Amino acid sequence: MTLPTYHWDMLGGGSITLFHVRGIRIAVDWSWFIVLFLVILWMSQFYGDLLGQSGSSTTPFLLAVASAIAFFASILLHELGHAFVALRNGIGISSIQLWIFGGMARMDREAESPGTEFRVAIAGPAVTAALVVLLTAGGIVAGGAKEFRDAALVESSSGASGVLAMVAWLASINLIVLLFNLLPAFPMDGGRVARAIVWARSGDRAGATRFAAGLGRVFGWFFIAAGLVATATGFFSIIGGIWLVMIGVLINGSARGASMQTAISSRVGDLRVADVMDRQPVAIPGELSVERALDEYFLRYRWPWFPVVDAAHRFLGLIVRDRADEVPEVSRANSLVSDVVELDDGTFQVRDDAPLDSLLSNQNLRRFGALMAVDAEGRLCGVITVEQVGRALRDAAN
């Protein structure tokens, strides 16, 4: 048996984990703190002017902090809308990450039908639209239509209370998020909706992706040009112009990457995971003692983790060296590997008959470097690594 070269990142990158929702890791990137600071700074000044207090006073600051938290909570709800619909359609979600440009739900794979693609893509905007309606209705009932409108326009002279102003701002900012996300610029939600519609009409997923990616690149260049012009003419603040340019660069790059991925997928053809995987992975039986696992596997192969299987060779999960070392020496002979295994919830595995091109968007393969290949009964039959996928792509390109 052979053990291929692969890396497993058990820490999940440089983001900070906040909590978990139905097994989905909710995390923030370091760039998120920049936006958090800017929102609090901006809103503190607004609430200070509105209430006739200094922006450094306690009340404006607390309202600004509450506004920032509520705003990012609404972004999280948007992404959870995508995530829950994806889960209902059999698509795993490894994490949701908040960062400088909002949020991102990391799906294990792409949708397999245009209907699933449409449902997952529209779920986030649907949640945001519901928030806008609820906030607007609540604000109008509480303060009246005119006062709510002035507060929504961030008018410091509106005379609205601090709480009404916060509700109005949240309604207006979520409306902006909704409209922006519905632009047909792949990979934003509107672009994915456009891809789903073209895919449903043509039956050609690759062609639909190229079409949506083309729209994305057009919008990307538009945002870049608009940001540069707005900054040069003073129509926007410098920060606003730079922000537009950065969004344009992000959209352009993502759309270009989607086009390249589609081209690569067409070269791979009908290759499956089983065609390129290592068919002789080293696996530890779950009924083995921790002592024997350390002596016969960890000390012999010098790897930090191994897949674990039951008596029927069904994949159970992973055993990590650090976890095995935590078992007291006096208990290792009587402790089983199955007692300390990190059970798999679908994160660590892929079906052996899955199309190879489905791994191109598999976030877990990118994150961990390798996945366990299992058959229809869940039996471990191989290991597929990033290196093996890359080699297959290079061979297909030649």
Query: Could you read off the pLDDT of 86-97 as tens digits, one per residue?
Result: 999 988 887 898
Please tell me the pTM assigned to this model: 0.71
Q: Are 123 and 85 in contact (CB under 8 A)?
A: yes
For residues 219 and 183, give the distance between their C-alpha atoms in angstroms, rounded to a whole number: 9
**pLDDT tops 70 at residue 353:** yes
Proportion of the chain above pLDDT 70, given as a percent:
90
Backbone angles phi, psi at 352, to 5 degrees: -70, -20
For residues 184 and 251, give the distance between their C-alpha atoms in angstroms, rounded to a whole number: 11
For residues 172 and 195, give the distance between their C-alpha atoms in angstroms, rounded to a whole number: 28
Q: Mention every residue, 6+ apart, whose C-beta is less than 8 A from residue 145.
A: none
For residues 302 and 77, give the distance between their C-alpha atoms in angstroms, rounded to a whole number: 43
For residues 119 and 111, give the distance between their C-alpha atoms in angstroms, rounded to a whole number: 10
| Residues making up the chain, counted from first to last | 398
User: Which amino acid does the sequence have at 316?
Assistant: L
For the domain 273-397, what is the CATH code?
A: 3.10.580.10
> What mean pLDDT do residues 13-27 have?
81
pLDDT tens by residue, 43-52: 888 888 888 8
Q: In the chain, where are the structural domains located?
A: 13-182, 188-268, 273-397
Answer with the residue of higher pLDDT: 172 or 2: 172
